[in-house]
Amino acid sequence: MAEPVVTVCVPTFNGEHHLEACLESVLDQTFTDFELLVVDDASRDRTTEVAERFRRQDPRVRIERNPRNLGLGGNWNRCVDLATGEWLKFVHQDDVIAPTCIEALLAARRPHCPLVACKRVLQFDDDGDAVRADYRHTVEHSIDSLFGEVPYVSGGQVCGAVLDHFGVNFVGEPTAVLVARDAFGRFGGFNERLPVLCDFEYWARVGGHTGLAYVPETLATFRVHARAISTFNRTVLRSHWEWLDPLILRAELASAPVYAPHRRVAADRRPPIDLTRAALDQAALARRRAEQSLRTSSPPDPSFLRAWRNVVSSYPMLSRSPRLRALDLRYAVGRRVRPRSPSPAPHH
């Protein structure tokens, strides 16, 4: 059987509530030369039962199950490994795409450009102000708002936007993006150490070299709700999202060979942007936050501090920094010599 033009990747984990609508939107596409690959990350609900119902009805549906949970980025990379199509279209289990989504994205392809993005709309199933605030920057800093309704954003423009709007996913979630499969061979897979910024980091990494094509039509809907994996990562793993994800990304920008285009753009700014200094500043801020977490938790929880040290040890520019070594030592010594607070006097 000939390989399909597109593999639609649906990574799932405990997604029974919205998966049916997701798969229906994929199978309703006007472009039909695709396989629908559902990769389940060891769900504990009826996710695979829902998917099996669609597999029995349509030969394009294929289901794979991970023997153990790989996590968000790990399951995305598993999808990449299993896909056979020339192009990959991720559609998350909570999301839906318009009937013409794949057709329009394929029509917008450009030579030597492995990324094609479209407009997306956010659907909030939860009315909490805090949840909406978390996504406000991505809504306000979309491709449209930064560049206008252009058919192509150059690599230099992507680099500049990454530097000017650090950590803000102006491209959008994977449901809004079509990716050439060979991009993963050229630039690597999703960074599994980033539970929240893994998609943005990938667009930044690849787009800085190749740019990205753009379709100024709303063709994808990203659902935000309490059970979503993205919501879990932004709440339960909030310290990682606020401190460690940005630290990893800043360290990558400052030192990883694949981020050389971004460093050139930073060096050409007037004044130049010191990416090494920015990474060290972020590391110092995260270390202070880790200390606060350790001192205020009861019983003391060293997990954030261990995670910080694990990140720092992964980057020589951080692990060899006298500034960070001195800061870490100062906090450790201060914790040992800090006197205990006196017990309150008994009431009579």
End-to-end CA distance of the chain: 86
How confident is the model at residue 129, as a pLDDT?
Answer: 60
| pLDDT under 50: residue ranges of the chain | 231-236, 339-341, 343, 348
Q: pTM for the complete prediction?
A: 0.89
Res 197: pLDDT = 92
Give the per-residue pLDDT at 151.
97
CA atoms of 306 and 229, how far apart (whole Å):
24
Provide the pLDDT for residue 75: 97
The beta-strand segments (E) located in the chain are 6-12, 34-40, 61-65, 87-90, 96-97, 115-124, 152-153, 177-180, 212-224
| pLDDT for the residue numbered 229 | 52
Rounded CA separation 250/141 (Å): 20
| DSSP-derived secondary structure letter, 13 | S
Q: What was the pLDDT predicted at 138?
A: 67
Q: What is the pLDDT of residue 213?
A: 98
Look up residue 298 and give its DSSP letter: S
Compute the distance between CA of residue 96 and CA of residue 169 in angstroms, rounded to an integer: 19
pLDDT of residue 274: 98
User: In one letter, which amino acid is 328?
Assistant: D
Q: Is 115 helix (H, G, I), strand (E, B) or coil?
A: strand
Q: Please tell me the predicted confidence (pLDDT) of residue 135.
A: 66
